């Protein structure tokens, strides 16, 4: 399988990422990749990992997610070891390397009212630095009606780190590490909010400090399946937070250390990505 666009990133796309906090790259993965990822995601949903969660949809729909699929599924592993995505992220970050920090599956079934609250990714994660980014890859056609991501343009440049928000109830997690989340939906006219209609194989790449969220999936006949990936570049370091998610197991590195251990492998330039899916292990 191959990409249908060049692996190198245009300077205009890098500048847009740096100024807006998000850039959409079209038609990056071909249908072969998408079909295999759809099948792999169904395997993950049928046998969820230890960090998987599902939120009820008030009697309709379902919103769920899972993490670190690459450690137990060959297709997700191959995406990191063989696809153009890691090289693209290194280019976007202006980094000589790209390390994988996590992959995350998000599924909003038809008629799912659950919104994804406004948030930044970096306060949730185990990564400090400016050369960090997220890739969001849809496996279905995505519009605002089916739950497209919305972004506050340029919000990554505010200098603020906002408290992680609970996806179940939308409330800030009480911590003195970060500041309270503003009421964006209550004052939408104050913000420059954009979204991207997308096709399978398109990529969204965003800064981990840009504010973003999404509505529910109001479509009766369309799922919203997407995979997100977090990457770290040259200046990024492992961070231990007081609140928020944790890695699937102890990575064996300490706060402030560089990435590159087995759980956070170098994926560009392509190196040996551990084949955890060949050697099942007990997670913490």
Domains plus CATH for the chain? Answer: 11-273 (2.60.120.620)
Task: Give how far Cα 139 sits from Cα of 105, 188, 227, 272, Å.
Answer: 10, 29, 8, 27
Average pLDDT over residues 152-181: 83
> What number is the average pLDDT over the span 240-253?
91
The answer to whether the CB of 118 falls within 8 A of the CB of 213 is yes
Mean pLDDT of the chain: 91
86-109 mean pLDDT: 97
Q: Quote the CA–CA distance of 86 and 121 in Å, as a whole number.
A: 19
Residue-wise pLDDT for 209-228, tens only, equals 999 999 999 999 999 999 99
Give yes or no for residue 281 having a pLDDT over 60: no
Q: What is the pTM of this model?
A: 0.92
Do residues 39 and 33 lie in contact, with contact meaning Cβ atoms separated by under 8 Å?
no
259 neighbors 97 (Cβ within 8 angstroms): no
The pLDDT, as a whole number, for residue 166 is 75
Q: In the structure encoding, which two tokens stand for residue 221, read together?
A: 């006949």
């Amino acid at each position: 399988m191959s990409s249908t666009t060049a692996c190198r990133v245009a300077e205009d796309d890098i500048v847009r990422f740096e100024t807006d906090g998000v850039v959409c790259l079209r038609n990056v993965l071909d249908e072969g990749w998408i079909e295999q990822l759809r099948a792999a995601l169904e395997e993950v949903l049928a046998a969820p990992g230890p960090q998987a969660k599902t939120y009820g949809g008030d009697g309709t729909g379902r919103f769920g997610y899972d993490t670190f699929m690459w450690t137990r599924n060959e297709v997700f592993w191959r995406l990191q070891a063989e696809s153009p995505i890691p090289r693209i992220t290194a280019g976007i970050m202006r980094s000589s390397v790209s390390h994988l920090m996590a992959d995350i599956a998000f599924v909003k079934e038809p008629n799912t009212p659950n919104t994804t609250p406004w948030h930044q990714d970096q306060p949730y994660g185990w990564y400090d630095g400016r050369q960090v980014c997220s890739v969001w890859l849809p496996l279905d056609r995505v519009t605002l009606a089916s739950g497209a991501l919305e972004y506050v343009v340029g919000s990554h440049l505010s200098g603020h780190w906002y408290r992680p928000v609970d996806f179940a109830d939308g409330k800030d997690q009480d911590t003195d590490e970060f500041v309270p989340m503003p009421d964006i939906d209550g004052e939408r006219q104050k913000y420059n909010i954009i979204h991207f209609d997308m096709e399978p194989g398109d990529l969204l790449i965003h800064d981990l400090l840009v504010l973003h969220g999404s509505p529910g999936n109001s479509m009766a006949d369309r799922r919203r399946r997407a995979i997100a990936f977090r990457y770290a570049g040259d200046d990024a370091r492992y961070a231990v937070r007081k609140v928020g998610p944790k890695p699937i197991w102890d990575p064996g590195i300490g706060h402030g250390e560089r990435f590159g251990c087995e759980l956070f492998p170098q994926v560009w330039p392509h190196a040996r990505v551990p084949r955890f899916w060949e050697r099942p292990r007990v997670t913490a």
